[in-house]
Amino acid sequence: MRGGTRWPRSRRTSGGRRRRSPSVSTSCSPNNRGSTSRRSRRSGKPRALRGAARSGDVLRERHRVRRPARTPSSRRLRVERRAPRDALAAQDVEGNGHTLGPGLIDCHVHLSFDGSADFSGEAQGLTEARAAIKAIRNAARHLASGVTTVRDLGGVGASMCDVARAIDEGIVAGTRVRPAGQALTVTGGHGHGLFALEVDGADGLRKAVRQQVSAGAKAIKVVATGGVLTPGIKVDVTAFTLEELEAAVDEAHKWDLPIAAHAHGAAGIANAVRAGVDSIEHGSQISAQVAKEM
């Protein structure tokens, strides 16, 4: 039980390790064009704060909003952890008339892209350096709009791993990034020649997963079917075989990393689910039977 929700039991793989039930994500946002903090002050839009807020409403669990001042004085509060000393120098924000909520999490973004109608043209013009620069800008936009964590599911080379590291180290400001490094696709598959790493065979996938781990990836992404944005590739074509996907899943889980599968076509979704991936991205043509298996 987590937060009142009963989670499905994990299943065991043939190797004895537990296999987690996958989730489905239908979104794919290149970049959340959030306002800067200056714009949000003028417009009244949400913005991310680092510091203390006074007199505002606080968004609580179970979808309830309650003013802190109305909390019964007799209620006993437990100290979870003490604020660090540098919190004394944090920004103090007057919250009267505003609502304070938790940071949002976006589980599928591509920070190096802007959502251009010409995706292929944009991708072909990206070097690792340019991709990193754009990602830093977009990470700052996310943070200013209240998105405090994102999972980037496919960047150019190792650029997103470097961006994530720079944000963690405080070199640049931005939303927390959990990068998947490069997406892994079959030779000639969705994303080839644009941003994905082409790889074939079970051994090839194991090596590719290890390469992403070495670069600093915090998740792994495989492309299990065709996609919408790669010219000449049918959306529902099945890419990796079940054996290949099982190898990728096994290797990712060895490193305690979650693995996501880009999958539109029904057969590719079924392969990914039966291989034990942790999430299905898109899932456009998922069948009722496979949904039940999940």
Q: Report yes or no on whether pTM surpasses 0.85.
A: no
Q: Do 293 and 11 meet the contact criterion of CB atoms below 8 Å apart? A: no
pLDDT tens per residue across span 7-47: 444 455 555 555 566 777 655 655 544 333 334 444 455 55
Q: Fill in the amino acid letter for 226.
A: G
pLDDT tens per residue across span 50-66: 555 565 666 555 655 55
Q: Do 199 and 184 meet the contact criterion of CB atoms below 8 Å apart? A: yes
pLDDT values of the chain reduced to their tens digit, one per residue, 294 residues: 334 444 444 455 555 555 566 777 655 655 544 333 334 444 455 556 555 556 566 655 565 555 554 445 555 556 666 667 666 677 777 888 888 888 999 999 999 999 888 888 899 889 999 999 999 999 999 999 999 999 999 999 999 999 999 999 999 999 999 999 999 999 999 999 889 999 999 999 999 999 999 999 999 999 999 998 888 899 999 999 999 999 999 999 999 999 999 999 999 999 999 999 999 999 999 999 999 999
Q: Do 134 and 111 meet the contact criterion of CB atoms below 8 Å apart? A: yes
| Alpha-carbon gap, residue 27 to 139, rounded angstroms | 18
DSSP at 176: E
pLDDT of residue 117: 86
List, in order of start, the domains of the chain with CATH numbers: 18-34+102-293 (3.20.20.140)
Q: Fill in the amino acid letter for 190.
A: H
